[in-house]
Structure 1
Amino acid sequence: MIESNFLEDLYNRIRKGGAIEDNVKIIFNEYNCNHIYQHSVRVAQMAENLAIKFKVDKNAAYIAGLLHDIGGIVPNNERIHVGQLLNVNLLPEEREFPMIIHQKISKVIAEEIFFIKDQKILEAIECHTTLRANPSLLDHVVFVADKIEWDQNGIPPYIDDLHTSLSISIENASFSYVDFLMRRKERLKVIHPWLSESYIYLKER
């Protein structure tokens, strides 16, 4: 069971003044999550590339990509507990399907351990799984980068449509993936409110 000193323990594991890349690697290694680390590095690089293409701050995109899944160090069966420890506002859908909580835990770790104060970076981290209504360009970039650099085996079933949409705009790419989910919503464990809101928002545009 993760204890109440979770953030203090994390802070004690990193190298003070060390590069963010090194400290991200340390944390993932300490929690035996190398597979998430490798995914996060790929997402950071993809986010940087997309940021350059769509004229978004590439450094912000890289940092958000690198930290987007840092909350994944918390096992699914402890995410409600840790979310409560961190005073995260947990929605009923997140309590029902705790996997989604990692995006909010990631935001807290980014802010409290890595001292990220840029709200746009924190918001992009916080909604990288579900997106949200009225997303920023940085939200789109991190969201799409995460979907391109799939964290599962095989080829993503939505990837061709996503790339086609990406040739139009980053917003179209986001909608392509959200629409893919919503057309298969009966297969989803839950429908997160932010996902529903992003679908309505993007569909209207």
Structure 2
Amino acid sequence: MTDLKTSEYKDFIRLKMGDYRFTHSVNVADEAVALAKIYGCDEELAYTAGILHDVTKEFPKDEQLQIIADGGIILDSVQKNAPKLWHSISGSVYVRDYLGIKNNDIINAVRYHTTGRAGMSLLEKIIYIADFTSAERSYKDVDIMRELSRKTLEDAMLFSCKFTIGNLSSKELAIHPDQLDCYNELVLNIERE
């Protein structure tokens, strides 16, 4: 376990990832702070969760699986067959057990930044959206996502859920129940006219 201060996380992750992933992580942290200012979230927590959200993304797959197992997490059938989800799970264990972060909001923001879930906190929503809208992102409709993120987090999240679910289903890939729960909660909470 390390005793890093918030200001040292950027230097720490620089040693753990390549140039693209490092730039992405810095951009997510910056976007998270911008969203935190808009929505009244603690900016230091937003920065910390943003800079650390992909901390294990470039770890070897077997190392990610070992971190998950050591953290007492048993992967469900969708997770077992979706290695792209492993980094968020291993990352949450890593920030808790290796970096000594005790703040559950940061741990959950790292854990659910890929799938979302029902009942997300403000910080979790901010990191989820910041990951989709960071400065280097250039996918189709990213400008719509960025615009929505400045109006309401929920509208941006619904857009991103539809994007992700549509993309996964078009490739006949499994959709994690957390993603579906997130989508369903957003749809059910839309104010009906």
Q: How would you bin the TM-score normalised by the shorter chain?
A: 0.7 to 0.9
Q: Secondary structure at the match of 2:182?
A: helix
CA contact (8 A) 2:78 2:175 kept: yes
- Match 1:196 to one of 137, 155, 180: 180
Moved more, 84-93 or 167-176: 84-93
Q: Quick check: 1:90 aligned with 2:69?
A: no
User: Out of 25, 37, 45, which is 2:11 matched to?
Assistant: 25
- Answer yes or no: is the 8 Å Cα contact 1:158–1:180 preserved in 2: no
**1:131 and 2:116 are equivalent in the alignment:** yes
Structure 1 stretches of at least 4 aligned residues deviating more than 6 Å after TM superposition: none
Read off the aligned partner of 1:160 and give its amino acid letter. D
**Counterpart mapping for 1:80-159 below 5 A:** 80-149=65-134, 155-159=138-142
> How many Å apart are 1:107 and its aligned residue?
0.9
Distance change (3 Å), C-alpha of 1:188 and 1:173: farther
Correspondence 1:162 to 2:145 = yes
1:4 equivalent in structure 2: none
Matched, 1:181 2:164: yes
* CA shift for structure 1 position 186: 2.6
Q: Secondary structure at the match of 2:56?
A: helix
What are the ranges of 5 or more consecutive residues in structure 2 without an aligned counterpart? none
Deviations along 1:99-150, whole A, 9 cap, x unmatched? 2011111111111222211111111111001110121111110000001127
**Structure 1 residues 19-57: Cα deviation after superposition (integer angstroms, max 9, x where no partner):** 44435534542x453432221111111101100111111
Instruction: Report the more deviating stretch, 61-70 or 86-95.
Output: 86-95
How much is the aligned-residue C-alpha RMSD, in angstroms?
Answer: 2.2
Aligned length: 188
TM-score, with normalisation over the residues of structure 1? 0.81
Q: 2:60 matched to 1:66? A: no
| 5+ long unaligned stretches in structure 1 | 1-10
Specify which structure has the bigger relative contact order, considering alpha-carbon pairs within 8 angstroms and separated by 6 or more residues.
2
Structure 2 letter corresponding to 1:22? E
